[in-house]
Amino acid sequence: MTPEKFRALLAEKGIVLSDYQMEQFATYYEFLVATNENVNLTAITDRDEVYLKHFYDSLLPAFEYQALQTEALNLCDVGAGAGFPSIPLKIAFPNLKVTIVDSLNKRITFLNELADKLALTDVHFYHARAEEFAKKGSPYRESFDLVTARAVARLSVLAEFCLPLVKIGGDFVALKAQKTQEELSDGKYAIALLGGKVISDTELTLPEVGDERHIVVVAKKKPTPNKYPRKAGTPTKKPLIKK
């Protein structure tokens, strides 16, 4: 997907990018590839693939979750890696207030430098495990309008990372690929236990390649019990799956 096609396809969805925003995406790509020579951020480095499989892919939630386009949501992105999906969302929708949590400091260093290069405001980066960031007593617990995660873990694990950060009345949006129905089946117990309810699972297709994508929206209906998330590493080793 060329940058021009990227812009045109988004415009068809009602997302119109300015020349300045296109320059921000170009800077993002150049800095990502340059940094990737020394720090492992992505296996995808071809320009057109980055625009399709990282930038366009990261904006898919905005097709289904309209509030991203219009509201000054307080968004937390868990395990964002090189900034996906939250930095493309921030570029496209400057109204967002973005917090990124990642467990690798090298990524946080990259994101801080990237934010400076892109002149982004209302962005904050934290080097932390999600389990520590969201634990009982944390100022961030149940404080975000929206929590996102892309390519981090299965839903049964991801729910424990993300739902404790979502405020009552807020939402958790997971960007998923194939086998989402299987993940939803496994994850329903954890989602309910942690105060969430699955609202929708929308199947989309990446243009040009036809890859399957799913946008899963989970509403936060009630408080997460204080004992969750469990200590770092436990959610991955012992997911909350009903026996």
pLDDT digits (tens, 9 = 90+) for 106-139: 999 999 999 999 999 999 999 999 999 999 999 9
Say whether 131 counts as a known binding-site residue: yes
List strand residue ranges (DSSP E) for the chain, in order.
74-78, 97-102, 123-127, 144-150, 166-176, 196-205, 212-220
Place of tokens 């320009």: 47
Average pLDDT on 158-183 reads 94
Query: Which is nearest to 174 in space by CA: 163, 164, 182, 185?
Result: 163
Going from the N-terminus, what domains does the chain have, and what CATH number goes with each? 60-224 (3.40.50.150)
- pLDDT of 41 strictly over 90: yes
Helix axes 105-118, 19-36, angle to 10 degrees: 150
What's this model's pTM, rounded to 2 decimal places?
0.94
Q: How confident is the model at residue 3 (pLDDT cuts 50, 70, 90)?
A: very high
Say whether 79 counts as a known binding-site residue: yes
How confident is the model at residue 80, as a pLDDT?
86
Say whether 130 counts as a known binding-site residue: yes
At 45-54, the pLDDT tens digits run 999 999 999 9
Average pLDDT on 200-204 reads 94
